[in-house]
Every structure is written in C-alpha cells, then in structure tokens.
Amino acid sequence: MNVPVLARWIEAAGIPTVVVTMMPALAEERRAPRIVGVEFPYGHSFGMPGDRVMQRRVLELGLRVLAGASAFGTRVDFDVEWPVPLREAYRAWQPAEPSPIVKKMLEARRAST
Amino acid sequence: MIVDSYRFLPRSFRPLYEGRGPFAGEEGPVWAPFLKRLAESRIALLTSAGFYVRGKQTSFDLDGERDRPEWGDPSWRAIPSTATDLGVAHLHINDEDLLADPEIALPRHLLSHLASEAVIGGAVDAHVAVMGYQDRNLRDWQSTTAPEIAAHLRSQGADGLVLAPA
C-alpha cells in the first residue's frame, strides 16, 4: 500500500511513473498517476519465474502505459490468469513464518478470545 | 478483464487494505507528462522486494523490524543492472521465487534486452530497491528516501520509472 505513494512523490519531482501491481484498486485509492493491474501472487509482479514471454508482456504493457497514458489515474489490467491453482499459489507466496506484525496481531487476537 | 485486487490476500487482511482512501495530504492529482518517444527514453525500475547486492551492500534491517513490528527499514539500494548476486530482505513474502529469478520483481535483463531491440532508448545503469513494509506515516520515505531516489534517477538520466510493489 506504500509504493503508490512513493510513485506520487517521485512523479511530483518530475519523473513520470507507472505502478505495476497486484492491488490496482489500492493503487487507485492511493491516487497513483498510472497503474497496471496484474492478478498475480505477491512477489511476482512480472510473472512466473523463468517465463520470459509472460514477463515481457507485463513489462511492455507497463512501458506502454508509462509512455502513452493521457490522463492522471489511467489504469489498465493485464488479462492473463496465474497458471497455478489458486489454493497452491495462495500458499506458495506466504513466508514460512508469519511476519512480526502478523505474529503480533495473531497473538493479540488469541489473547482477546 | 478486471483484476481482483484481493485474490491472493488472506480474507481477514482485506479490511486492512480496502477503503483506506488516499494517503494524508496526497489527495490531488500529480502528473509529470511523458514527453519523449519510448524508443528515445531511458527507463528505470523500482521494486519493493527488498533486494540488495550480497557482499557489497548491507541487508535491509530485519532485526529492527522484529524488535519493532510496526516499523520497516526505510532505506533504499541502488541495484546495478549487471549485479549478479542479489539477496532478498523481506519478512512478508516467500523469497524462494525471487531468489530463483529476480526478474519477476526487477526485470533488469529484460529491460536491457528491450533497449537492445530499440523498444526503449536505454536502461539506467542502476535500478532501485526498497523494502515495501513501512510504518504507517511514511515519514522517512517522504523526507529522505523519495528525494534521494528522485535525485538518483535524475543522475541516471531516467525519463520514466516502472515501480513494482512486491
């Protein structure tokens, strides 16, 4: 949720930006200037490891939106489904152990029940 | 097709992200027009996957985050387009695929390839990595990191930046 804000500050410094993101709705809320949405698991903005064709398609779309968007808030979504079953992909992106903040939230939830 | 922004997010996390609105003070439009042709433009990449160059740069401060779970290291790293041994410092995602193929988050080689095909004019010599998990107010990013990254991009002659949240 922070990178769209960083994009705004860099854009305000005079450098055009595009955010390629798994959470384009959030990038819109955070008012990123140009957005490309991908329905990929976290950590995989440009696609599957080793899949140069998919990575190229995403990067080229990002470049086209960067250079060709005519107005603030332009969003274009990448129309390709992640080629791994959802349950498997959902598990695969997550770290082996919860992050410190998630751990803290889980502990707080346990303590309140 | 409209991307489902919450497809891979645990259901209980969704309220933490959805409907939060703009960041305070960042409600209005901001716009730098892209004036050149892409084939004449130098492009830079930025990832929030927490990449650093092993043996040459320090990792992002994960111990600090373990000590203070609401805090994330606000610093940044310049990642040379030719650097070979990248580490990942990010406690919120599985780093296995990122280490196996860093191009999934920072497609440096692909960008250089597009330059060789004249799709773009060129790629910067050093791209940018940050660690995406930050404290809520983003004070250090706003006061220090963003201006430093903008200055770095200007010194690299970047005409545009592709940012990829991890």
pLDDT tens for B33-46 read: 999 999 999 999 99
A113 has pLDDT over 90: no
Residue A1 reports pLDDT greater than 90: no
Is A61 in the B-facing interface, judged by CB distances under 8 Å?
no
For residue B30, give the nearest of A12, A63, A67 by CB distance. A12
Which helix (H) or strand (E) segment holds residue A61: the answer is: helix A52-68
pTM: 0.97
pLDDT at B153 over 90: yes
Lowest mean pLDDT among A3-7, B103-107, B134-138: B134-138
**Residues contacting residue B113 through CB under 8 Å, at least 6 positions apart:** none
Supply the pLDDT for residue B22: 97
Q: How far is B55 from chain A (nearest CA, A)?
A: 23
Contact A77 B98 (CB under 8 A): no
Give per-residue pLDDT as tens, B94-119.
Answer: 999 999 999 999 999 999 999 999 99
A61: distance to nearest CA of chain B, Å?
A: 11
ipTM of the complex: 0.97
Q: Encode pLDDT of A47-101 as tens digits.
A: 999 999 999 999 999 999 999 999 999 999 999 999 999 999 999 999 999 999 9
What whole-number percentage of chain A has pLDDT above 90?
A: 94
Q: Which residue of A has its CA nearest to B121?
A: A63
Whether chain B has a CB inside 8 Å of the CB on A83: the answer is: no
Residue type, B140: D
Q: Do A18 and B163 touch (CB under 8 A)?
A: yes
Q: Which residues of A touch B20 (CB under 8 A)?
A: 1, 26, 29-30
